[in-house]
Amino acid sequence: MLTLIDPKKHIFYAVSEKLTESKEDPTMKKLLALALTLCLLLGVCSIASAADTTTLTMWTFIAQHQEFFEKAAARWNEANPDRPIAV
């Protein structure tokens, strides 16, 4: 069963309607600018914290697989010292 969503009930439609109906009221534009700025700041913060070591946990049942993943992680860490991983 396919359920169609009424576009007039969608949040983005409501925001765009509010922006187009009151061009004299800068409050909505300021709110939108603030929301976009917040998204950009959160993106920068997540990039800044990417220098931490990422730990990968894998289940292996053959010792060769474990050796392969450890060697691959060592190669990755040599090529990407700013984004280290631990297996």
- pLDDT score at 41: 79
18 and 42 in a common domain: yes
Return the closest-CA partner of residue 74 out of 87, 56, 61, 57: 87
pLDDT tens string for the chain (87 positions)?
455 666 556 566 666 666 666 556 678 778 888 888 887 777 766 554 555 888 888 888 888 999 999 999 999 999 998 889 998
Could you tell me where the beta strands, DSSP code E, fall in the chain? Answer: 54-55, 85-86
- pLDDT score at 53: 85
84 and 73 in a common domain: yes
Structural domain that includes position 66: 52-87
- pLDDT score at 74: 94
68 and 46 in a common domain: no
70 and 87 in a common domain: yes
- pLDDT score at 22: 55
Q: How many domains are contained in the chain?
A: 2
